[in-house]
């Protein structure tokens, strides 16, 4: 069982840095308040949901009146990296929203990589790429990320198992998974 107050960095045994992106996110969270969001991670999920990544939602859900920051203030690349930062609370479900945004191809791989390196989120992003390629080895964004982050060490245990990034496609009888498809 994961302690609700522990961070992803604690689980992975890595250190975190003082993040300029995190300061900007806290300001944006104050400016674009989402009722019911108790912490930055809740707010990030609300923004991801508003941008189309709805496979994972929080309870209680964001208010229908919630207006996320525009992409000019917070790009999808920044949003994905913000979700993948190791200093976040250890909420594996949150990583599914980041993976869905990538699978939807709403991000530019080069910008995402640059931002991830600046914010030291490569470990999480590299592991998500490795897991996503189990399902869709030809996905262009995941392949680009995996290729660029191939030298990033893999954690002893997956941060998130590949089945959490995909949905099963049943066989003719509708009971067994014939194949899997990335959630997008």
Q: Nearest CA to 21 among 68, 98, 77, 100?
A: 77
67-111, pLDDT tens digit by residue? 999 999 999 999 999 999 999 999 999 999 999 999 999 999 999
Give per-residue pLDDT as tens, 3-55: 778 999 999 999 998 999 999 999 999 999 999 899 999 999 999 999 999 99
- 168: β partners: 180
Q: Average of pLDDT values for 164-183? A: 87
CA 8-13-15 angle, to 5 degrees, is 80
**107 contacts 101 by C-beta, under 8 angstroms:** yes
Record the tokens describing residue 117, joined without a space.
């390196």
65 closest CA partner among 44, 45, 50: 50
Given a cut of 80, whether residue 2 has pLDDT beyond it is no
- Which residue, among 21, 19, 43, has the nearest Cα to 30 in the 3D structure? 43
**pTM for the predicted model, two decimal places:** 0.92
Instruction: Give me 72's structure tokens.
Output: 């000019």
């Amino acid at each position: 069982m994961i302690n609700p107050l522990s961070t992803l960095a604690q689980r992975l045994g890595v250190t975190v840095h003082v993040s300029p992106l995190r300061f900007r996110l806290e300001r944006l969270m104050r400016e674009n308040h989402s009722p019911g969001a108790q912490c930055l991670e809740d707010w990030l999920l609300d923004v991801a949901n508003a941008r189309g990544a709805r496979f994972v939602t929080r309870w209680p859900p964001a208010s229908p009146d919630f207006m996320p920051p525009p992409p000019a203030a917070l790009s999808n690349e920044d949003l994905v990296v913000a979700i993948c930062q190791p200093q976040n609370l250890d909420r594996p479900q949150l990583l599914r929203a980041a993976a869905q945004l990538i699978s939807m191809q709403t991000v530019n791989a080069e910008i995402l990589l640059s931002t991830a390196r600046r914010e030291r989120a490569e470990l999480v992003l590299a592991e998500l790429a490795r897991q996503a390629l189990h399902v869709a080895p030809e996905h262009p964004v995941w392949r680009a990320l995996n290729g660029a982050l191939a030298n990033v060490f893999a954690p002893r245990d997956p941060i998130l198992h590949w089945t959490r990034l995909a949905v099963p496609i049943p066989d003719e009888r509708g009971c067994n998974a014939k194949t899997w498809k990335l959630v997008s």
